[in-house]
C-alpha cells in the first residue's frame, strides 16, 4: 500500500501511519527521531521529578532532533506541520517499535 500524497487529508491515524513511516526512510533521520523522542521522555520525567521547567524543554528537544533529521538528511517537510497530533503519535509509536526491535534503528 503506497502512502497518499501530502494534499490528501488522512481520516485516521491508521491511514496516516504508513505515510509517516514513508517520510522517515533515511536512517540518520530515524535515529535522530529516536534520540529526540527518548530525550523528550527524559525531560518529561525530569519535569515531574526535578523541576517543572523541564516540561518546556521536552517538545523543544524532541522537535529539534526531528527537524534536523528532516531538513538536512531526509530533505522533506516534517509531517508535524500538517498533522501535529498524529505526527506526535507517530513519533512515539516509531520509538516504541524501535525499542521493541520491530523497526530498525
Asked if residue 29 lies in contact with residue 36, where contact means CB atoms within 8 angstroms, the answer is no
The whole-number pLDDT of residue 8 equals 72
Q: Whose CA is closest to 103, among 34, 44, 38?
A: 34
The whole-number pLDDT of residue 95 equals 97
Please write the tens of the pLDDT for every residue from 51-80.
999 999 999 999 999 999 999 999 999 999
Residue 2 has pLDDT above 60, yes or no: no
Would you kindly state where each structural domain of the chain is located, as residue ranges? Answer: 32-99
Q: Is the dihedral of CA 76, 78, 23, 60 positive or negative?
A: positive
Please write the tens of the pLDDT for every residue from 5-45.
555 789 999 999 999 999 999 999 999 999 999 999 999 99
Residue 1 has pLDDT above 80, yes or no: no
Residue 81 has pLDDT above 80, yes or no: yes
The whole-number pLDDT of residue 72 equals 97
Amino acid at each position: 500500500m503506497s502512502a497518499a500524497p501530502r494534499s490528501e487529508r488522512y481520516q485516521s491515524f491508521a491511514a496516516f501511519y504508513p505515510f509517516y513511516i514513508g517520510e522517515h526512510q533515511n536512517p540518520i533521520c530515524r535515529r535522530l527521531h529516536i534520540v529526540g523522542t527518548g530525550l523528550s521522555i527524559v525531560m518529561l520525567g525530569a519535569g515531574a521529578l526535578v523541576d517543572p521547567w523541564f516540561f518546556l524543554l521536552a517538545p523543544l528537544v524532541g522537535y529539534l532532533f526531528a527537524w534536523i533529521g528532516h531538513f538536512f538528511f531526509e530533505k522533506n517537510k516534517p509531517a508535524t506541520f500538517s498533522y501535529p497530533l498524529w505526527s506526535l503519535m507517530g513519533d512515539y509509536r516509531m520509538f516504541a517499535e524501535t525499542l521493541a526491535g520491530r523497526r530498525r534503528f
